Structure 1
Amino acid sequence: MGVSVDVFAAVMAPFKWLVSALMVWFHDALSSIGMPAANGWTWTFSIIGLVLVIRAALIPVFLRQVSAQRRMGRLQPDLKKLQDKYKGKTDQLSRQAMAQEQMALYKDHGANPLSACLPVLIQVPFFFALFQVLSGITSAAGQDQGIGAMSHQQVAQFDESSILGAPLSGSVLHGGAGDPAAVTVLTILMILVMVAAQFMTQRRIMATSKPEEAADNPLLRQQRMFLYILPLIFGVGGILFPIGVLIYWTTTNLWTLAQQFFVK
């Protein structure tokens, strides 16, 4: 267990440094134009800046995702025929043959089911890095330590920063030094915003599906599942994360929604 934890920490270390370095850079830039260094809004805009940099860097990946979704859409009628061909056949040879033919279809169409998830997968280590940075703020501040590229002074500033009475490093379960009611209210508001953005994004993805596709199309069934499961994940997971992480999560969901409107 200890070895696996050490390996995970070693893998996450560069992401923690990069995430904290980008936050510090934006914080210093905002401070240089007159925003108070110890103000919660300065750190909030630093987190938003972090999101903008990461998502802008992922635009080429997103465009590949859109292309992959289109190829998968064109592939659905052939997949439906393949499923009908092996319907009711549960023996091992039939399952292996179906899997081989399915892989051949993916190869012929240049499609990869996992490519549609690539932007999300790339963001996962940055998200966990930010979670680790913000979750360790209070502890580091109390031990006169820095985190990643953040100095002890910046860690202390962040630990004391709040917006609307809610500390950025606080969460519903660990409210920190701020007002627990403010933390709860702000958490609920951001969860509602990011869940609404996620729901609208998924609805828009489903709306771009071809009308001639059958209602029992596997791709459409998967999209309907995401339509309700992803908001549930965001809603339940939201109460576990610090306010700063929720700011990141809400901003990235709004970015994704905006991308769906601008990219066809």
Structure 2
Amino acid sequence: MDDQNKNLLLATVLSGLVLLGWYILVPPPEAPADAALVEGNLLPPVDAPVDATAGAPAATAATNEPISTATESAPDAPRLTIETPRVSGSISLRGGRIDDLALKDYRVTNDAESDIVTLLAPVGQSQAYYALYGWAPGSGLALDDVPGANTLWSAPEGATLSPETPVTLSWDNGKGLTFERELTIDDNYMFSIRQSVTNNGDTTVSLAPYGTLARHGEPQDLKNFFILHEGLIRESDGELAELDYDDMQDFEVNPRDGSNSETISVENAGWIGFTDHYWMTTLVPEQGKAFRAVAKYDPRREIYQSDIVMPTITLATGESSTANSQLFAGAKEWAAIRAYEKTGIEGFLDSIDWGWFAFLTKPIFAVLHWLNLQIGNMGWAIIGLTVLIKILVFPLAYKSYASMAKMKEIQPKMEALKERVGDDRQKMQQEMMALYKKEKVNPAAGCLPILIQIPIFFSLYKVIFVTLELRHAPFFGPFQDLSAPDPTTFMNLFGLLPFEGPEPGSILALVFIGILPLLLGVSMWVQQKLNPAPTDPTQQMIFAWMPWVFMFMLGGFASGLVVYWIANNTITFTQQYLIMRSHGYKPDVFGNIKSSFKKKPKADS
């Protein structure tokens, strides 16, 4: 491809990147938060679906319709303390709800004095968010005969749930059924729930165990970025589904209770829950067994809900049964989630939003994580990753830059050819192809570095924006959060003055950019000077403005991505300069820089 076509391709690609940058920097407006989701002591009902098997013996369960189990606000209900090295909180014995959980290792902001992140909150508080478990009644049982959202459980006095001390809750319905719920928690974020029931009554009964996650309203800190999924996430027999909160509102309406719901039958393995930018709660039934995964939205009360419903069981007198499940409630740490997947939770690592380029983002993050462990600094790990990527693609880059050097060598022959054939385009094309063949030049090879860079850029941007490990990750000096834009600006003398710059995303932040975007613009500009400016005025203007457009456009991106881009430009410049020199073409970098500052002669009037 000739220089004109190559530059046209480059301009098209860069235009696409500019549009991408616009959507990232100016995301769709966030949905307004509902300040009155829960007030006082009035708690909306939480519906628990009943049956996980078609044709269940229970008359109620066989309908596959949900039963309303209204919860009640109970701030004075006894509580069971949760205390581990990484989380703290409590469980309300009213319903046995896991509804109070904070993540000790994470703070709301990068300020060491800010509050730790709260993940779960009880009803009666804004943004109530909790997990509860119970049994849905089938034949021979009424709603009050089984434990639900309002059941007051008993716990050992003074008990605390910790990795070393599991706790067993108990409840007797007074009609021959005794229920127990054994709770354990590991050193990270996984609860294990073992529900058991014993029938000491005189009749055979049927009932179905379930687990529920209820979220009152959308999260207040919802990002609404197209590059990030927030909302319902579900794995069912190897198929991953990501549904936004808006998608849940579009579920088919259930005529019985007016909710919008969707039910998926899972044959072997899966899980369901809600994912935020960095945090997640997920219901994980026993893998290898069938269950139903239910997602619903109650428009009357603004409640989003996900359920797991295990198969209905039938108990004769003297029989017992147990149902095992797990609850993940914590930070989406790659190492922890990967370990859970290795212990049998199928596809659990996909709960991190790897995006379309998962085949790139997963290995890129794995290497970045390893480098960070070795170096101890995420900024230097990003630079190290850049070096490794450049080494990996070096053979292709070598061919590309060698081809570009040969193109420069045959430029005089190209000019002579144009003079000889004149305006005969067909003949010009034929002669050019013959010249390329004779000189063994591939004109398309010069485009390869750009084409390679695009998916790597998108993948790394995804990794830096989505993964928890970049959150609040320091580099050096003023750069203490590589997931945030450069905090330095002319307004605070590039970090020398002790106050913050403009609010990220504001107009001032786009204008008064920091040190890293400036270095990015300069590195792109210097890289351009490996070649003389194009003779075509339009192309010359595009290339002249390109570094500075990118400088302002990427100024609002995560600083970790800008660090990568600067390192990439620096390595690319060095590679291209040395390769082109080794093939006989000597780039006049300083001469090209000088010529860019020369005044153009005025056109004759």
**Pairwise TM-score range, normalised by the shorter structure:** 0.5 to 0.7
Matched letter for residue 435 of structure 2: L
| CA deviation profile, 1:110-143 (whole Å, cap 9, x unmatched) | 1122212322321221111011222234xxxxxx
Task: Tell me the equivalent position of 2:321.
Answer: none
Structure 1 length as normaliser, TM-score?
A: 0.65
After TM superposition, list the pairs within 5 Å mapping 1:217-256 onto structure 2: 228-256=544-572
**Is 1:74 aligned to residue 409 of structure 2?**
yes
Query: Could you tell me whether the CA contact under 8 Å between 2:471 and 2:483 is conserved in 1?
Result: yes
Cα drift, residue 27 of structure 1: 1.3
Richer in strand (by share): 2
Match of 2:471 among 159, 178, 182: 159
Correspondence list, 1:184-263, <5 A: 188-206=514-532, 228-260=544-576, 262-263=578-579
Matched-pair contact (CA < 8 Å) for 1:62–1:119 = yes
**Could you tell me how far apart the structure 2 residues matched to 1:28 and 1:187 are?**
31
Does 1 or 2 have the higher relative contact order (CA < 8 Å, sep 6+)?
A: 1
Partner Cα separation in structure 2 for residue 104 and residue 10 of structure 1: 44
Q: Give 2:389's match in structure 1, choosing from 40, 51, 54.
A: 54
Deviation of the 1:255 alpha carbon: 1.5
What does the per-residue CA deviation read over 1:61-101, in whole Å, with 9 as the maximum and x for residues that have no partner? 332233212221222122212322444x3xxxx33332232
Q: Which residue matches 1:28?
A: 373
Uncovered stretches (5+) of structure 1, i.e. residues with no partner: 1-5, 36-41, 138-154, 173-177, 208-214
CA distance in 1, matches of 2:439, 2:404: 12
Query: More displaced, 180-189 or 72-81?
Result: 180-189
Q: Is the 8 A contact 1:202 1:223 kept in 2?
A: no
Identity of aligned residues (%): 26
State the one-letter code of the partner of 1:235: M
Distance in 1 between the 2:538 and 2:395 partners? 24
Q: Which amino acid aligns with 2:438?
A: D
Of residues 110, 117, 128, the one that matches 2:447 is 117
1:13 equivalent to 2:340? Answer: no
Please identify, of 111-120 and 222-231, the stretch whose mean Cα deviation from structure 2 is larger. Answer: 222-231
Letter in 1 for 2:483: S
Alpha carbons of structure 1 residues 113 and 43: separation in structure 2 relative to 1, 3 Å: same
Distance 2:369 2:431 in 1: 51
Question: Would the alpha carbon gap of residues 226 and 22 (structure 1) be closer, same or farther in structure 2, given more than 3 Å must change?
Answer: farther
Determine the C-alpha separation between the residues in 2 that align with 1:223 and 1:106: 23
* Stretch of structure 1 that moved more, 119-128 or 226-235: 226-235
Alpha carbons 1:165, 1:182 under 8 Å: kept = no
The AA in structure 2 aligned to 1:168 is L
Give CA-to-partner distance per residue, 1:153-204, whole Å, 9 cap, x none: xx1x4213244155322237xxxxx955497599531122122222223223
1:128 aligns with 2:442: no
Once residues 516 and 503 of structure 2 are traced to their aligned partners in structure 1, the CA distance between those partners, rounded to angstroms, is: 12
- Aligned residues: CA RMSD: 3.4
Q: Which has the larger radius of gyration?
A: 2
Instruction: Return the structure number with greater helix share.
Output: 1
Distance in 1 separating the partners of 2:541 and 2:433: 23
Checking the alignment, whether the CA contact within 8 Å between 1:15 and 1:126 is kept in structure 2 is: yes
Match of 2:482 in 1: 168
Alpha-carbon distance in structure 2 between the residues aligned to 1:70 and 1:102: 17
TM (norm. structure 2) is: 0.31
